[in-house]
Amino acid sequence: MKGIDRKFTLWALAWPIFIEVFLQTLLGTVDTLMVSEVSDDAVAVVGFSNQLFNALMTLFITVASGAGILIAQRIGAKREEDARTIAIMSVTVSGAIGLAISIVLYLWPQAIARVLQMPENLMPLADTYISIAGGGMVLTAIMAAFSTAIRNTGNTKGPMYVIIGVNIVHVVMNYGFIYGELGFPQWGLTGVAVSTLASRVIASAVLLVMFLYAFGRKIMLPEFLRFDRKLFGEVMRIGWPLGVNMSCWVFTQLLIYTFIAMLGAAELAARTYMNTLESFCFMLGYSFALALQIQVAHLFGASRTRDAYQATFRAMWIGLAVVTVNSLVIYLMGSWLLGQFTDDAEIVAIGVTLLGMNLLLQPGKMINMALGNALNAVGDTRFVMYISIGSMWAIAAGCSYVTGISLGWGLVGIYGCMITDEYLRGFLSWRRWRSRTWMTRQSHAPADGGAAANGAVQA
């Protein structure tokens, strides 16, 4: 694409994100394999708890994500001081929210697990894991704010290096705690939780140093007390609908996990293993979608709306091709892959069936990732929020209960509703982007008049 900073080209943004996601997914798979050595019940608890953590993360991701979009827009408009101030505020506010979440999870883990219908036989493990790993959510909040801000300056390599290094440390510590090797005590699932917490401490420290030098002028620690009400208002104007959208997804997923828990421990373990395999299906597509959001926000901030429009469809088609091929490969290898996680024939049989349905699910997800991220990048977050509220709650969650529980179709019924939800939202987002109504939105004026003229440049 002509006339764009090289670090904001799609490939320059996407490849570090892909390597980060790929290695993190690979290490996450190793992590799941290690936990499966403890027991299938331990795997179910970790998968269930992670859904809870993801749901609670939306409370601070709202701020970090809204800030990230504005950082890229402001840099595109040559207003780096505003971008710097927004980044500092996002870290401070996200950290405060994360601290409140940590306190609640540490003090009342069993009460939370019971509300979410955790099977009683899993409760002792849930108590340990949620209190320790959940108590470190403040670190997750800070890491998310640091990483989002750094990425949206165009530096996607930095967070990649940090996350890769820390996840390697996490796997090594898991090995030590689970098997009692390398001088570690044999703590089982408790050790996995401690390993998770320690890894977050290391990542937060490294990302802090990187964040202080992310902008043209070094950030000083006393500046974390700064607060610009006007700029924060802009963050929340974009961020709160984005937060509602993300909340709809994670809370409906958590609700679906609750439905699956009602089906039994085997179904819950199968879904947890499926989450790991599914991540390999769309990780490259996700990398392009996340890179696209940064690129579109940068182009929109520079008033290059035509380039933003074309870049979105280019990234979507690339992502669709990739996730389709990945889904097919995973399906063909399904029995063997699931057999690496568990010897339970029932869990393997359930997983293979779901991998077949995954061939339909992943392309719908890719359409949503590309078009939804593009709409968010130009500030059209309310539209994405509206369709999420309607489709996710009525179809993904509501119909899942009817088909999966009431009609007795189990996981097949639940997955069918998830597929329907993805394609409905994808179609509505496609129509919105094609209408170009978002082009009429007020973009931030660039620092010089030349940038606006670039809007006519074709890719």
Q: Report pLDDT digits (tens) over 150-164.
A: 999 989 889 989 988
Among 125-139, 263-277, 439-453, which is the least confidently predicted range? 439-453
Write out the two tokens for 214: 């992310």
State mean pLDDT over 337-348.
83
C-alpha distances in Å from residue 371, one per residue of 120, 314, 368:
41, 11, 5
CB 62 within 8 A of CB 145: no
Q: Please report, to the nearest 10 degrees, the dihedral formed by the alpha carbons of residues 204, 13, 232, 212 taken in order.
A: 40
How confident is the model at residue 390, as a pLDDT?
94
The residue that leads in pLDDT, 427 or 302, is 427
Whole-angstrom distance, CA of residue 150 vs CA of residue 68: 9
CA 417 to chain centre: 21
Tell me the one-letter amino acid at 29: T
Residue 166 has pLDDT above 50, yes or no: yes
Is 90 exceeded by the pLDDT of residue 85?
A: yes
Which of 128, 82, 83 is CA-nearest to residue 109?
128
User: Mean pLDDT throughout 429-440?
Assistant: 89
What is the predicted pLDDT for the residue at 445? 39
- Is residue 296 helix, strand or coil? helix
Q: Taking Cα atoms as reference points, which of 173, 153, 161 lies closest to residue 207?
A: 161
**Region 78-102 average pLDDT:** 93
Contact 344, 262 (CB under 8 A): no
Among 280-289, 305-314, 333-342, where is mean pLDDT lowest? 280-289
- Average confidence score pLDDT of the chain: 85
CA-closest candidate to residue 111, choices 141, 134, 140: 134
Q: How confident is the model at residue 454 (pLDDT cuts 50, 70, 90)?
A: very low
Say which residue, 159 or 453, is predicted with more confidence. Answer: 159
394 pLDDT above the threshold of 90: yes
For tokens 């949206």, the residue is: 152
Q: What is the pLDDT of residue 10?
A: 77
Q: Is 436 left (phi over 0), alpha (psi -120 to 50) or beta?
A: left
Q: For the residues 364-379, what does the mean pLDDT come to?
A: 93
Task: Determine the pLDDT at residue 367.
Answer: 94
Is the pLDDT at 444 greater than 60? The verdict is no
Q: Which residues contact 448 (CB under 8 A, 6 or more apart)?
A: 78
pTM of the model: 0.77
The reported pLDDT for the residue numbered 26 is 67
User: Given a cut of 60, is residue 456 above it in pLDDT?
Assistant: no
At residue 142, the pLDDT reads 94
Mind listing the pLDDT tens digit for each residue in 93-131?
999 999 999 999 999 888 888 887 777 888 888 888 888
- In sequence order, the 6+-apart residues with CB closer than 8 A to the CB of 189 are 35, 38, 42, 45, 46, 125, 128, 129
Q: How confident is the model at residue 457 (pLDDT cuts 50, 70, 90)?
A: very low
- Mean pLDDT in residue range 339-347: 82
Task: Give the Cα separation of 377 and 386 in Å (integer).
Answer: 16
Q: Report, as an integer, the average pLDDT of 279-285.
A: 75
